[in-house]
Amino acid sequence: MKTKGAHIIWSCLVEQGVDTVFGYPGGAILPAYDALLDHPIRHVLVRHEQGATHMADGYARASGKVGVALATSGPGATNLVTGIANAMMDSIPIVCITGQVAEMLMGSDAFQETDITGITLTITKHNFLVTRAKDIAPTMRKAFQIATSGRPGPVVVDITKNAQQEEAEYEPPIDKPKGLSPQDGKGLSTRGFVSSSLEQANQLLAAAKKPVILAGHGILKSGACDEVRRFAELAHVPVGMTLLGIGSLPAHHPLNLGMMGMHGEHWVNEAIQEADLLLAFGMRFDDRVTGKLASYAPQAKKIHIDIDPSELHKNVRADVAIAGDLRAVLQEWLPTMDGKRHDAWLARIGELAGGATVRDIAELPDNGKLYAAHVIHDIWKATAGRAIVVTDVGQHQMWAAQYYKCEEPGIFITSGGLGTMGFGVPAAMGVKLARPDREVWAIVGDGGFQMTQAELQTMVQENIKVNVAIINNGYLGMVRQWQEFFHQRRYSATPLSSPDYVKLADAHGLSGIRVTRRADMADALRHARAAAGAVIMDFRVDQEDTVYPMVSPGAALHDMIKRPNALSETGADV
Ligand SMILES: Cc1ncc(C[n+]2csc(CCOP(=O)(O)OP(=O)(O)O)c2C)c(N)n1
């Protein structure tokens, strides 16, 4: 049937099971916006295109589906760039559809012409320029397949205005289309290769006395949480989490050591440095988790499993490297494994931790001040570790990772690889739209919140109930912390003013609360959780609080700056 290109775009989205998209219109995407009215798809009108990509990203993380963002050419398309890079770094499947000027105008510096495929070349898994209506359907289908297959990631489809206006044959597919599942990445390694590697891996495991599993985002992405838990229990191996691996083992599990890396638990980093075997599951040895590579885990053999072969041996040389979907590999590996105990090793890690494993700060006397750790701890307590928590980037992000103990996979959502300030609020909105049944909290700094606060009005227009906890310390806190440690407290460009957030909430027609004392936390949280609409919470926390411990950039992983007080990581002194 002959159909306009603009309609083919939406028909393809419907084909792919898309029911919600995030976007902002403009001249070059106008035909598509006109056709939108004839298709059963909810369009969320954002206030800035960056918000659309973060919402699509949050939506994808929470739903397991592809997130879709739309923008016009030129400034609309370039406003998507940060969110696309964010999705690329964290392997999130999103498809961004941009309008492009008509083909006959391309290359003439036409009004709102930018070369968005050129601009996004290195921050997309793939991108396409479509100049003919007949190419729209096959390209859209390919875009979804690429976004979801193997290691997921963002795909841009740039469609010229004439392609949207022309007609072409469009036939819906006979079979229900589906993107490749992550399991299809298994095809990356032949069965024979995996089996011989597994033999070597079993030899290393049998010889190991001090093994540690490094649990990464890939566990959640491949749906391998059960397999990892069974593996850890059978081989009796403690598990350290990367920031994006949080939730892959329940927080209370006795083998869960907590987070590793720059702001990880000191005993996790020390255990990694003492280990004789690292089992890296779906993680990529990011510099924030390894510290100085030359002194990283010097005694450890390494087994590395990742769906992306280009990650193997990239930062850290592996003794056994397996390219494949983690769940599929573990399903093959588990039946070949022998059970083992590592009691002495776990006792040693317990010794390293000392009394510091307890982060329960609920019973501490109230000294009249409010600390970020209190706020996050109290949100955790109130929600029993079962809310979906979306963070922005900075100190509050690290405190959220440390103090919000996740009992379920997929409920800690954060910008890991790119560290994108401004991610928290729009991503939380995408999460809520994907999971309307769940309680969703955005935990953000006063800096990051101000980057994308325009989306509060989108929240109102679309009636999205997210509780926004602004950890308001009057500084770009994480940068201030670096200045405190490494620049002799010369606070250059980090003191930060804020609007009156209660009035701001009011101006948007939302409820706002200010909390300055711990004693008022319980009532405030009760109000926010019970309110039908979004609530904006201004937590006035201690201004010069510091995230401990910290591995200085370039330092060895065990070389951590610890809280000066002897009570250290108990949080007892905060
Ligand atoms: C878009 C962007 N710009 C700059 C940075 C660098 N940066 C990292 S953390 C941080 C401070 C964040 O301050 P705030 O949002 O108030 O959170 P806090 O650290 O105080 O919790 C900055 C500026 C960044 N990560 N992202």
Q: How far is CA 156 from CA 11, 31, 127, 347, 351, in A?
A: 18, 18, 5, 50, 50
Query: What is the reported pLDDT for 183?
Result: 45
Query: What is the reported pLDDT for 207?
Result: 98
Q: For a substitution probing ligand 1, which of 415, 421, 450, 451 has the most ligand atoms within 8 Å of its CB? A: 421
Set 241, 398, 451, 478: catalytic member: 478
Set 111, 178, 543, 544: catalytic member: 111
Q: Is 176 a catalytic residue?
A: no
Q: How many CA atoms lie within 13 A of 150 on its CB side?
A: 12
Q: How many CB atoms lie within 10 A of CB 408?
A: 14
CA of 497 to the centre of ligand 1 (A): 14
Helices (H) and strands (E) in the chain, counts: 23, 22
Query: What is the reported pLDDT for 214?
Result: 98
Ligand 1 in contact with 480 (CB < 6 A)? no
Query: What is the reported pLDDT for 57?
Result: 99
Q: Whose CA is nearest to atom 24 of ligand 1?
A: 421
Contact 423, 53 (CB under 8 A): no
- Closest ligand 1 atom to residue 396 Cα is 21
pTM: 0.95
Query: What is the reported pLDDT for 367?
Result: 76
- Closest ligand 1 atom to residue 496 Cα is 16
Set 15, 106, 112, 200: catalytic member: 112
* Tokens 């560290």 belong to residue: 419
Mean pLDDT of successive 10-residue segments in the chain (574 residues)? 96 98 98 98 98 99 98 98 98 98 98 98 98 98 98 98 98 69 46 76 98 98 98 98 98 96 95 98 97 97 97 96 96 96 98 69 66 94 96 98 95 98 99 98 98 98 98 98 97 98 98 96 97 98 93 93 59 35
Q: How far is CA 168 from CA 3, 45, 163, 186, 466, in A?
A: 5, 28, 9, 37, 42
Q: In the chain, how long is the greatest CA-to-CA distance?
A: 74
